[in-house]
């Protein structure tokens, strides 16, 4: 029972964080445009396109994790695994971006990405044990 409450809490926390990350990118807020313009220059791609792709992926991750809270056990397990794989990949990409593409990594973003990455790994391990 307690583990179930913690699991649901981690899903909701992760979904909330991903919504929070997605919205500035999808709304095209100045801080996101500035960062993704720089990322695009380094990568040789469209910064705006990369920003919208990343925001859409983050929103999808949030929706999948949120849906997993409300689905039946079997469907919820598949959705949970999918959501945490998306979260893991997105946060791994965020860390690569922070350390290898951004001029100076933002400590708060690195900390959040590591925390969400650890949540994803721990929950995937629990699902497969």
26-56 residue pLDDT tens: 999 999 999 999 999 999 999 999 999 999 9
Total domain count for the chain?
1
> How much is the pLDDT for 72?
80
Cα separation, 109 vs 45, whole angstroms? 22
What domain range is 65 assigned to?
1-128
Res. 109 pLDDT band, cuts 50 70 90: very high
Cα separation, 4 vs 58, whole angstroms? 24
Q: Are the C-beta atoms of 80 and 123 separated by less than 8 Å?
A: yes
Cα separation, 71 vs 48, whole angstroms? 34
Cα separation, 6 vs 110, whole angstroms? 24
Running DSSP on this structure, what letter comes out for residue 28? T
């Amino acid at each position: 029972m307690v583990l179930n409450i913690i699991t649901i809490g981690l899903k909701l926390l992760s979904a909330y964080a991903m919504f929070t990350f997605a919205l500035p990118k999808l709304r095209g807020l100045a801080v996101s445009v500035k960062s993704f313009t720089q990322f695009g220059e380094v990568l040789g791609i469209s910064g705006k396109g990369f920003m919208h792709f990343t925001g859409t992926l983050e929103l999808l991750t949030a929706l999948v994790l949120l849906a997993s809270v409300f689905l039946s056990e079997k469907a919820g397990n598949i959705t949970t695994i999918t959501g945490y794989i998306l979260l893991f990949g997105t946060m791994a990409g965020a860390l690569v971006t922070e350390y290898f593409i951004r001029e100076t990594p933002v400590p708060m973003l690195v900390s959040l990405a590591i925390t969400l990455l650890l949540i994803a790994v721990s929950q995937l391990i629990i699902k497969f044990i």
